[in-house]
Structure 1
Amino acid sequence: MSPHGLPTTRDAGPFDPPPAITRLRESRPVSPLVFPDGHRGWLVTGYDAARQVLADTRFSSRLDLDVVHVPYETPGIPAATEPSPPMPGVFIAMDPPDHTRLRKRLTGAFTVRRMRVLEERVAEITERQLDHLAGLAPPVDLVAEFALPVPSLVICELLGVPYADRETFQANSAKFLVRDQDLAEKMAALGALTGYLAELVIRKRAEPEDDILSDLAAHEDLTVEELTGVAFLLLLAGHETTANMLALGTFALLEHPDQLAELRADPELVPNAVEELLRYLAIADIFYRYATEDLELAGETIPKGSTVVLSLLAANHDPERFDGGLDIHRKARGHLSFGHGVHQCLGQQLARVELRTGFQALLRRFPTLRLAIPAEDVRLRADMNIYGVHELPVTWTAD
């Protein structure tokens, strides 16, 4: 029986895939999926199949190939009758050669070498934010006071976005990412964000500074619309993903006290733990591809025109590839949380730097950190396109 719509309820707890998705992966890792609008597409939950889809560019990323079918009920969205073009510059919704042209402009900005140079600055920003946290009277919300400010400060500095404007872009980013948001509200948030960024890139082109947006604006072949789209993608991805990994990762460690104690005792385990947390949590879970021809996948025939939904969380929990739950000793390289193939996350080295620095410093500075409310009362972002927690109330014992 093909499921109708994508199962999204986190009945197995805050960290595991929905049980309905786990059952599908066990019985049929590439399974038919009936969308709410009646489209008959496919859901990929197995690790090998997901990796194959991400590596094969015949599974297109282009939104304008067909009408966009959403696998869960979304209020306010009229029935689409024709494909909608992707926003200029948003290269995650493009295929080569368009994708290649924009992405190559950015590869120099996110090299391992540049991230190493940035590491010292990330450490300074992290320590300063923890000084602020230490000055507050617990309980405090770790999201608002640590997990969100650190990546926001870093990405603002890297891109050249004034941090003073953070409340506006954070609020609009959050509105844009609400899964069941009314379309008019979602588009208003998007319009506010892109309007702000368009003004910024025009300013960078006229008066360049030492930042990524100025570097990009120097390329005359990129239009203001493309620069705005790239800036939108980098700003949104640069603070929302890492912020949610820091908060949800802390929650996961607090819920695994034995592993947390090991991590405190041996900080050299942190880089390994970061990879495992990335695998285990897969906060950017649902991705889409579009079959450009009839394709074979895990013994199934995917007809041309099918929308293929990938659950990276389910793939990362596939026992055929990764056995068991959270294990900070696991060598989790090969996880799909940064994607795979030509669209593999450009900012993954930056994310690793921020996560390693953030977790290491937080555990060192707050050795008695614990939840201030029962775990079941933590508000999960099951309503958002990037998963995490809305707030994480924590407390600690003062020295």
Structure 2
Amino acid sequence: MNVTTKTGLPLPPETTMPVDPGPFDCMPDLLAAARVAPVVRIPYLGKHAWVVCDPELVRIALTHPQMAKDVTWVPDWMRRPGLMVGSQPDPEYARAMIMSDGEDHARIRRMHAPVLSPRNTERWGERVSVKVDGFLDELAQSRSGETAEVNVVTDYTHRIPLAFISEMLGLPLEAERQLRSITDVMLYSSDYPARTKAVRSLYEAVEGWVRNPGPLRDGVITGLLDSSDGPDAAVTEGEVIVWTLGMIITGYETTGSLISASLYEALRRPPEERPRSEEDIKAWVEEALRVHPPFPHPTWRFAMTDIDLGGYLIPKGAPVQVSIAAANRRPGEGADSFEAERQGQGHLTFGLGMHYCIGASLVRLEAQIAVRGFLRRFPEARLSTGTPVEWESEWMIRRMSVLPAVLS
């Protein structure tokens, strides 16, 4: 039932989505909620969040001039510890790229651009290839017969971006295990005190590396620190900390999820239906991006004024999510709709407009290298028939936790 407001516009109908993380696949529920109306309201933290589901309205929302992302628009009731990592620091201390607008966002983006330049992306790709070869060697050595089964997620797909982002940032070698344990709790635990503790642990770890860079290898952190020194410093120490946090979360978890989904779609098909050529692999990864966006609902937006969107009211101050999960699909498509021939056409997984993911090219390259390497090394690998695939998710983030494969 729609409620008419003083503006004459109705509020969107209310429905539900799985807002707490758990050992399930959220995608069917997200798509079911999106079928309720072009815009819906979700009970959230005792209040409501607005979710834009219609593909055309999602495009409008992603570029709407009155939909703010700046951290100052986050209402107090959403600033729950452990819930929104990007809203934790005071904006005077530092703004994250994903929670900034205007000149603040443009400046942060300019500072990141050299790191992710085409030349650097090519160089990073070479380093990813080295790590992929090493992890594939370990997988090959782990086999002890035709029944040898591995969890591709823990043994391969998530190891690649974690090792790479650690090297890219210049983190100490022992940091990888620490980051994995922290981010797993921070993103997927339903224990909010534990999530709060994990967020604090990650901040403390990064703060320690930034303020005592002696153990660091040359990398992005030391490069940013060079820019924070002296009277003409381009960045502050606080910004180095906050920006490093952002690169860890977005550069590790989402990439690992994309690689897992791409290999899942390959392993559940016979070898002759899997991608072989470079172009086939690129198309395969794009379709995985379309069907399996690691962030089914990405970062928050906030209405700066009353907005009429598709005939529904989004009132000033309302927190807004856009359903990438729904926008990526054509009418009638279900959760299980991967078709490589579509090549991911029209997907919005990396966003749109000025907030388009700055690391999109690197994420694609990592996934392509990882998928190509695995399928060439283990062309007859198949999903296990004795162990089920398992998911972890909630409405904003989704990944496989178990991708069981026999490497025959």
**TM-score computed with the length of structure 1 as normaliser:** 0.85
How far did residue 98 of structure 1 move? 1.8
Percent identical pairs in the alignment equals 25
- Unaligned stretches of 5+ in structure 2? 2-12, 228-232
**Which of 353, 375, 395 is equivalent to 1:363?**
375
Cα 1:163/1:52, change in 2 over 3 Å: farther
Measured in 2, the distance between the counterparts of 1:31 and 1:299 equals: 12
Alignment of 1:310-329 (within 5 A): 310-319=322-331, 325-329=337-341
2:121 maps to: 115
Q: Which moved more, 1:211-220 or 1:270-279?
A: 211-220
**Which of 216, 230, 241 is equivalent to 1:228?**
241
**Which of 158, 161, 176 is equivalent to 2:171?**
161
Measured in 1, the distance between the counterparts of 2:63 and 2:210 equals: 33
Alignment of 1:345-364 (within 5 A): 345-364=357-376
How far did residue 100 of structure 1 move? 1.8
Checking the alignment, whether the CA contact within 8 Å between 2:94 and 2:242 is kept in structure 1 is yes
- Unaligned stretches of 5+ in structure 1? 78-82
1:60 maps to: 68
Q: Answer yes or no: is 1:99 the counterpart of 2:112.
A: no
**Which of 250, 255, 270 is equivalent to 2:263?**
250
1:261 maps to: 272
Measured in 1, the distance between the counterparts of 2:323 and 2:210 equals: 34
How far did residue 396 of structure 1 move? 2.2
Q: Which fold has the larger relative contact order, with Cα–Cα distance below 8 Å and residues 6 or more apart in sequence?
A: 2
1:130 maps to: 136
Q: Answer yes or no: is 1:301 the counterpart of 2:310.
A: no
2:224 maps to: 216
Cα 1:264/1:53, change in 2 over 3 Å: closer
How far did residue 5 of structure 1 move? 4.0
Alignment of 1:5-24 (within 5 A): 5-7=16-18, 14=25, 17-19=27-29, 21-24=30-33
Cα 1:192/1:36, change in 2 over 3 Å: closer
1:379 maps to: 390
2:205 maps to: 196
- Secondary structure (helix, strand or coil) at the match of 1:308 reads strand
1:175 maps to: 185
Instruction: State the AA in 2 paired with 1:147.
Output: T
Measured in 2, the distance between the counterparts of 1:196 and 1:363 equals: 36
How far did residue 203 of structure 1 move? 3.7
Cα 1:378/1:331, change in 2 over 3 Å: closer
Measured in 1, the distance between the counterparts of 2:393 and 2:215 equals: 42
Measured in 1, the distance between the counterparts of 2:195 and 2:20 equals: 22
- Secondary structure (helix, strand or coil) at the match of 1:286 reads coil
How far did residue 36 of structure 1 move? 4.5
The total of aligned residue pairs comes to 380
- Secondary structure (helix, strand or coil) at the match of 1:388 reads strand
- Secondary structure (helix, strand or coil) at the match of 2:405 reads strand
Checking the alignment, whether the CA contact within 8 Å between 1:90 and 1:233 is kept in structure 2 is yes
**TM-score computed with the length of structure 2 as normaliser:** 0.83
Checking the alignment, whether the CA contact within 8 Å between 1:284 and 1:387 is kept in structure 2 is yes
Checking the alignment, whether the CA contact within 8 Å between 1:177 and 1:384 is kept in structure 2 is no
How far did residue 151 of structure 1 move? 0.9
Instruction: State the AA in 2 paired with 1:229.
Output: V
Residue by residue, what CA displacement relative to the aligned partner does 1:285-327 show, whole Å, maximum 9, x if unpaired?
1232110012222232322111112221111123399999212
- Secondary structure (helix, strand or coil) at the match of 1:31 reads strand
Checking the alignment, whether the CA contact within 8 Å between 2:31 and 2:334 is kept in structure 1 is no
Checking the alignment, whether the CA contact within 8 Å between 1:148 and 1:239 is kept in structure 2 is yes
- Secondary structure (helix, strand or coil) at the match of 2:234 reads coil
Instruction: State the AA in 2 paired with 1:18.
Output: P
**Which of 151, 165, 182 is equivalent to 2:161?**
151
Cα 1:244/1:69, change in 2 over 3 Å: farther
**Which of 237, 247, 250 is equivalent to 1:237?**
250
Over the aligned positions, Cα root-mean-square deviation in angstroms equals: 3.1
